Structure formats: C-alpha cells, structure tokens
Structure 1
C-alpha cells in the first residue's frame, strides 16, 4: 500500500487498529483512503523518508536497502525482530542512514508486557495514559543508553553497536550478580 499524502492523524489511528483490533491487512487502508494497493510486492522501491520494516525476519535485504537509499530514505526503524538482513544493516550503516535496530526500537511491546506483569503483581490498575507515560520513559531510556554506550565503546551514534553492547553488558552484569561467572 502506498499513501503519497502520508499516514498521520485519522489515517494512523485507522492503520493501528487494522491489525491490532481487526486483524486485517493494509489493503483495507488502501480501499478506505483511495491509495494504491500493490499485491505480492515489497514496498522498498517506493521513495520515502523513513522506512519501517515490520512484517517478518529478513524481509529487507541488501538490494532493497540500496534501492531505499537511492530513493532518498534517511532513516530505517525496525518494528519487528530482525526484519533487515545483516547485509541490509551494513548497507545502511556504510551510507550513514540512521538505523534503529529492532532490539531497541521494537522494545515497546516487551516493555508493556513487563508493565502489565508489574501491575498484576502489585494489584494496581494504571490508566492508559499512565502506561503510555511509563512506556515513553522506558523508550527514552533505551535511546539514551544506546547513544551513551555506542559513544563509550568507540562507535558514537551507532544504535546497533549501542543496543548490542548494552544488551551484552546487562546479561554479563546479571550473571556476575548471580555468581554464574
């Protein structure tokens, strides 16, 4: 589905509900808002400012990455677990396209699950706004940690390095705290 006018406001709300509530594809969006629907093709040839691969692992490869860059894409934000191949990530990094890896950018779902478990164990009932505010704080912290760690270890601004190193350090610290190592 291609919407040259962009997806914001009412359109964004509709798109969010398509899958989470109605379990429908983006075709319903195209039909409702009169956009182009191109079945059986990937969207990576469409010029865009920001690409957000979200469907499945390894859906965006090096060739797709090069096409996105040629068409002016400035940032890629993974919204799933590893939708970009390693080659695609290297292409984005080599061309200095801002790249947000899924382990950081897609952490919101896991974070909200953790908030839900906290509510349940403490027998609390947070409002939607409270959960959203806590999620925003968590995501800002993840962003800050990625930048801090990437700079500390010689790759300033590299979100992949920041997320990978921060994750590794967190696991090592937990293992040390538990006496495993």
Structure 2
C-alpha cells in the first residue's frame, strides 16, 4: 500500500500546471473468428489494466535559449473481454497436479483495447523526487481518466463490442513506488 504524503502531493500540485494528455501507444483487436455483433457477449467478463509505468522530467529549449521544464507521467490502461473458466473446487484434490491457487483462470481473450497515455505538466520550478512520485501515483490518473473513458467507448463502438461503462474515476494501484 502506498503511503501518501499530503505535503509532498501539495508541493507537486503547487509546482505543476496541466498542459496536455495524449496517447503514445495503442492496440485494439478482436480474436480470430470472434464476431461481437453475432456473439453472446453477455457471457463474457471484463478484466482491467491501470498502471502508472513511469514519470520523467523533460527540458525544452526554445530557439531563443529559453528553457521550459515538463513533467510527464506515463499510464497504461486496458480492457479485455474474456471468458472465465468454471470455478475450480475450493479444496483441490491432493493428486490433482493441475490445480492452482487461483479460483478462476482466463480461458480465452476475445477482444482487447489498450492505450498508453502521457499526462504532461509544466513545472514552475524544481520538484523533489518524493513530490513527483506521490503526484504520479496519486493524481495524474485523474487527468487521464476522462480521455481513457472516451477512447474506450469510441473503440468499443468501432469494433461492435458492447458499450463498456467505465466509472467516472478510478485509482491506480501500483505495487511499487517506481517513477
């Protein structure tokens, strides 16, 4: 669990000004033979991806030699439509080597929509590592989330997939403090 320093987050909020959100990479596909408009998509489940992958500071130099500092946060988001295998027994037979600790395994992925977003901020001065990490992991996703919701809904429409209603906000759950 990430411990949020309110003062570190506030330092970042005070020093950063939202500049842009854009997609750096995207992938969307349907499995061979899967035709969503003719398939029973109600039997499919969704799995989600939401990871803050990295952050960086970039220095831009104008033709006049003026420097601008940009803070960029990269966030990977994704949705997959998959079929879930039948539930495995709660107490696997000791002789059954195929048993695993997971109760459900993905059987087949039928559709995938993923995108790597970049949230870009202008820096009004230097920021310490703790403030940048805290902001990346706890605040940047709020700025990217509306773009992801629109992109996913649009891609689902284009691919004849069921319309996926993504919640208005969601928090990244990174397992490490990498920035």
TM range (shorter): under 0.3
Which structure is higher in helix share? Answer: 1
TM (normalized to structure 1)? Answer: 0.24
Which structure is higher in strand share? Answer: 2
